[in-house]
Amino acid sequence: LDLERIGVHESVGNVFPPAELESYLSDLPATVETVDDDGARDCDAVVTFAYREAFLDCDWIHSIQAGVDRFPFDDLEAEDVVLTNSTGIHDRTVGETVAGYLLAFSRRLHAHVAAQKEGEWEKPAWDEAFTLPGKTACILGTGTLGSGVADVVGSLGVRTVGVRRSADPVPGFDEIYATDDLLEAVADADFVIVTLPLTDETHQLVDSEVFETMREDAYFVNVGRGPIVDEHALIDALESGAIEGAALDVFEEEPLPEESPLWEMDEVIVTPHCAAFTRDYFRDVGDLVEENVGRLEDEEEFYNRVV
Ligand code: NDP
Ligand code: 7N6
């Protein structure tokens, strides 16, 4: 793979200005330029947020996301295009966002912000606020996101239970269950937190049975991908009181449609797929690209290779 021209696809603008990454990578032994779909065709590699068919003309695509469910793996393989992703950089950002959700619910901060908007001085009921030490979080997925969440909420005194395909232990988790025992894992949790990738196996993994099994005072969090959850079942569970509330960063349809009842629910926090946002994002991605350019020069295997 001869790397002369690396394109920074304009779609990275969803997360940071393309020019920031372009200048961060300016010392690489290749030309780095911001490109649109057509410009990408002339590149050996492209760093991107979105997928475009034009990228099949490149040798290497780097996704600035960890989630690569939008990429057509079979087409890439058929055209001999390498795909690498950005797993490994979101532990602290997403961990802190999830800790923020948990603290908002326990200390009632979301309710206070909502009351402030109405100009209302409204104290919580005596039995609404609580503290986190001794509470249990069941974290679905024990990779970068799951471990980052376990680290940050664990430091707040929360007991962490992980769910992965095998029940093998993972550092940083107090207990691990296999996905086959998902219902058992969520049954006693105060918080159920999805950090999974979207795959054929995880599609709609969290369904009405999961919500029925959860405690009625439990909160649900999704920072993985929307379609991992049956969103209708979630809305039913919130409306019927089968669960207490939810914090959601990802949805079946994004942006979340205006008519979704989730917007109006008091015990629901909606964030616009930004759990991993940080002003350092372009640096974190740039370091991954630089690592792989170095590996290419040294004829080593790609880091974070998916296809
Ligand atoms: P990792 O590859 O580090 O971790 C994925 C984890 O999922 C592994 O622990 C794996 O465990 C587990 N897993 C995979 N399939 C299953 C399954 N069927 N049942 C149970 N566990 C499973 O990925 P990341 O943590 O970096 O990212 C995870 C996902 O989070 C991304 O794919 C993306 O969709 C989403 N994401 C969302 C962000 C946001 O902004 N909201 C930011 C970054 C990522 P094992 O192999 O042991 O089964
Ligand atoms: C941009 C979103 C991922 O999969 O969706 C997330 O990495 C990142 C911050």
Mind listing the pLDDT tens digit for each residue in 18-66?
999 999 999 999 999 999 999 999 999 999 999 999 999 999 999 999 9
Q: Specify the DSSP class assigned to residue 266.
A: T
The residues that bridge with 176 in the sheet, in sequence order, are: 162
Residue 86 CA: nearest ligand 1 atom is: 26
State the pLDDT at residue 1: 81
Place of tokens 């054929």: 200
Q: Give 170-228 pLDDT, tens digit per residue.
A: 999 999 999 999 999 999 999 999 999 999 999 999 999 999 999 999 999 999 999 99
* Structure token pair of residue 261: 């009842």
Tell me, in angstroms, the distance from the centre of ligand 2 to residue 186's CA: 25
CB atoms within 10 A of CB 216: 10
277-284 contacts: CB < 8 A, separation 24 or more?
277/15, 277/93, 278/93, 281/15, 281/16, 281/64, 281/89, 282/12, 282/15, 282/16, 282/17, 282/20, 282/21, 282/24, 283/24, 284/86, 284/89
Question: What lines the ligand 2 site, CB under 6 Å?
Answer: 15, 65-67, 86, 90, 276-277
Residue 242 has pLDDT above 90, yes or no: yes
Whether pLDDT at 15 is above 90: yes
For the CA of 143, the nearest ligand:
1
